[in-house]
Amino acid sequence: MLQHNAVLSPSFSLGITHRSCFTRAHARPRPLPPRLPVAQPGAGHPERPERIEAVLAALRAPDLASVVEWREARPAAREQIERVHPARYLDGLERLARAGGGALDADTVMSGASWEAALAAAGVAIDAVELGLARGTAFGATRPPGHHALAARAMGFCLVNNVVVAARHAQRLGKSRVLIVDWDVHHGNGTQALVERDPSVCYVSMHQYPWYPGTGAEDERGVGNVFNVPRPPGLPRATYVRDLLAAVDAALAGWGRGTRPDLLLVSAGFDSLAGDPLGGFTLAPEDMADWTTALRERVAPAPVVGVLEGGYRLDLLAAGVRAHVRALAS
């Protein structure tokens, strides 16, 4: 993973509506707010502002207009993030951003806009949960990503763990059992570390191994709530698809016969698509669509909410997000 300068880009949560339930008055995409401060990470950096621009452009396509309701989320409140990250760590991030930014470690560098970007991304994840609970499905177009962020350490382009912030928010709303499924090509070491001692949250991760960040072995089981699926690059697509769903089935079985999660969160990383420069998996966008459909079927009637993680080739990222959102809307 290379260095990261987070940016304050517009972040959106999408309410995915169903034709059978909402046949009129779908909200149109809002124009982007003008003159937002954007920190450029430098030429050639994979985690760049064009990522979120590609996602938003893909989701504004006319053929999605009838199934996507756009909402611009508010930044997360400090108390919402402190359910996951200690105040001292967050103080340090805010202080460094106010000073103009700087390096947090060899992989992760903040700009002056990074703190605002982190609050915005976490707010999107929170708003997506609320939309998902109300509508059944939602997707949060977040940047920067979050699944590498530990409780008190930023790494791998990630400052705040958006998906765990979302899970804790859902639990505050009474949704006590949360399943997180992570199909980013990199293991979500931060997510695992934050939930592995909490049986109310199950974490399933399919990831390339060995690969960055070096965690995610199959025998890392937490308190029986962690289900890692480490796989080498270059396998047939069908193998990855089958093995992730088998791990989800094992996680669901671990909760007991007839018990289902109250919410399923997808850490939706699209760097697992064939051709992404930061991974070696062979998946296609339709595999993400098939996963999404299968996940919805397995946890119904629980809501399913996607939260954007990685994906570094713009055309693949756009195609993957479209496929995921379409499957959420079907």
- Catalytic positions, written as ranges: 148
Residue 101 has which token pair? 């930014």
If DSSP states are collapsed to H, E and C, what string results for the chain?
Answer: CCCCECCCCCCEEEEECCCCCCCCCCCCCCCCCCCCCCCCCCCCCCCCCHHHHHHHHHHCCHHHCCCEEEEECCCCCHHHHCCCCCHHHHHHHHHHHHCCEEECCCCCEEECCHHHHHHHHHHHHHHHHHHHHHHCEEEEECCCCCCCCECCECECCECCCHHHHHHHHHHHCCCCCEEEEECCCCCCHHHHHHHCCCCCEEEEEEEECCCCCCCCCCCCCCCCCEEEEEECCCCCHHHHHHHHHHHHHHHHHHCCCCCCCCEEEEEECCCCECCCCCCCCCECHHHHHHHHHHHHHHHCCCCEEEEECCCCCHHHHHHHHHHHHHHHHC
